[in-house]
Amino acid sequence: MTTEPSEPFPLSFGLDTFGDVTHDDEDRPLSHAQTIRDLVEQGVLADQVGIDFFGIGEHHTDDFPLSAADVVLAAIAARTNRIHVGSAVTVLSSDDPVRVFQRYSTLDAVSGGRAEVILGRGSSIDSFPLFGYDLADYEDLFEEKTNLFAELLKGSPVNWHGKTRPSLHDQDVVPHPESGTFPVWIGVGGSPQSVIRAAHYGFSLMLAIIGGSPARFAPFSQLFRQALESFGRAALPVGVHSPGHVAATDEQARAEFWPRYREVITRFSKIRGFAIPTEDSFMHEIGQHGALHVGSPETVAQKIAQTLTSLGANRFDLKFGMGGLSQQALMTNIELYGTEVVPRVRELLA
């Protein structure tokens, strides 16, 4: 059993999107189809500007029409050759782990070994009624399906027995990943038991920090490391997923992001019980003790460096986009993130 902290993992930087519908020059929402085609362009640009990972979060609503992330990721993979592509997250609880494995091992084949999967319950829950699952069962569903997913990753033949899907007996599940496996993370929003679960299965930890001080999650990294050790496992990467927006100046980034953020969060507050954001709460969230990474390249780079340091994390995924922003604003965000923010964070942490 290892007791020493392992070698640090290399820093890596990703972009995550929920496929928020973009608006045209006259602030009218674009079609789902155009939003999805724009998303492919965003992924291609992310590759060109040197970003390490492009992730799409599964959603099933009019605002976020990204129900089949893996199809979009395959399109991005076909036009790129360096960037990793993956889910952020896959709502495993309401999916069939066998299909998730098949889709992402197919993506792994298409992309030449660049697929990753982030598993989660998903903070958005539209998939449960859609596929006939009861939200009250989400823990049991997630636990059992994570268990099956871990079995599938060990390779075929698969033997598994559970309550949520038919058993597997010496089942060959194809396609076989070329290099035997692909990276799997568990997205955790604040449940310590999910941290332990990730360690138990040997999956990496992706902390989703969408409000409050990122440093508050430092004990979760520590919990993950100690849990890995207690299970006799080697160290694994820790990542952070946080929302933000980069523009040329702080003022511009705020002016673009704030009205959209207020609109989207106000809409969600009704169904999710969030407080409605005020200008004060927004300024707090983009400040040193908040979760939003909004501003000029320098401001965002400083904040990411601080977030990674306080959590002992080696991967940062910026959740970019916010319903209503224009494709142009998103492309600028991606370009600045890749060409200015990431090199600056590397410099700050060197």
If the CB atoms of residues 222 and 309 are measured against another protein, the closer one turns out to be 222
Rule CB under 8 A: is residue 132 a binding residue for another protein?
Answer: no
Figure out which of the listed residues 226, 266, 288, 328 binds another protein, where binding follows CB under 8 A: 226
Nearest CB to another protein, comparing residues 204 and 221: 221
Tokens 């999956």 sit at which residue? 203
What's the min distance (Å) between Cβ of 60 and another protein? 14
Residue-wise over 59-84: b if at least 16 C-beta within 10 A, else e? bbeebbbbbebbebbbbbbeebeebb
Return d(Cα 205, Cα 122) in angstroms, integer: 15
User: What residue type is 157 in one-letter code?
Assistant: P
Distance CA 144, CA 27 (A): 44
| β-strand partners of 188 | 207
| 274 lies in the binding site for another protein (CB under 8 A) | yes
* Tokens found for residue 327: 């494709």
Closest to 184 in 3D by CA, of 160, 228, 150? 150
* Spatial CB neighbours of 225, under 8 Å, sequence gap ≥ 6: 5, 235, 312
Question: Please, what is the minimum distance in Å from the beta carbon of residue 274 to another protein?
Answer: 6
Q: Which parts of 140-179 interact with another protein (CB under 8 A)?
A: none
Residue 287 as a binder of another protein (CB under 8 A): the answer is: no
Binding mask 288-327 for another protein (x = CB under 8 A): ----------------------------------------
CA distances (Å), 73 to each of 4, 43, 85, 165, in order? 37, 8, 6, 27
Q: Which of 2, 6, 31, 269 forms a contact with another protein (CB under 8 A)?
A: 269
CB 205 within 8 A of CB 188: yes
Please tell me whether residue 266 binds another protein under the rule CB under 8 A: no
Tell me how many residues contact another protein (CB under 8 A). 30
Shortest reach from residue 282's CB to another protein, in Å: 14
**187, amino acid identity:** G
Tokens of 15: 């972009």
- Structure tokens of 3? 């007791």
Name which position in 31, 113, 131, 134 contacts another protein (CB under 8 A).
134
* Closest separation in Å from C-beta 139 to another protein: 7
Question: Rule CB under 8 A: is residue 61 a binding residue for another protein?
Answer: no
Q: Which stretch binds another protein (CB under 8 A): 32-40, 172-180, 271-279, 341-349?
A: 271-279
Residue ranges binding another protein (CB under 8 A)? 125, 128, 134-139, 189-193, 196, 211-213, 216, 219, 222-223, 226-227, 230, 269, 271-275
